[in-house]
Amino acid sequence: MLTEQAKQFMIEEISKEMVYLLIEEKGMSMQEALHVLYTSDTYARLTETSNGLYAQSTAYVYEYLENELTKGKIA
């Protein structure tokens, strides 16, 4: 069983990596990427530790965010 501190660390690492992906793949500024991530439904789900999304790979979570950005919703 992971501690809350460990879960928070995992969430922060995934978040950091997703911001870098938004900058690299979408050409966003750091400020834009942070805004997009932190206001997304994907981030809300990521921080809801009961669903275990924080334990998935960055690529897996990023797919949710990309889908949300292109379709306006999470599939």
pLDDT at position 1 = 83
Q: What is the DSSP string of 1-67?
A: ---HHHHHHHHHHHHHHHHHHHHHHH---HHHHHHHHHTSHHHHHHH-GGG-GGGS-HHHHHHHHHH
Mean pLDDT by 10 residues, the chain (75 residues): 94 98 97 97 96 96 95 69
Residue from 13, 7, 16, 18 nearest 50 by CA:
7
pLDDT at position 73 = 64
pTM for this entry: 0.91
pLDDT at position 72 = 83
Q: Domain residues of the chain, as ranges?
A: 4-71
Other C-beta atoms closer than 10 Å to the C-beta of 6 total 11
Which amino acid does the sequence have at 15? S
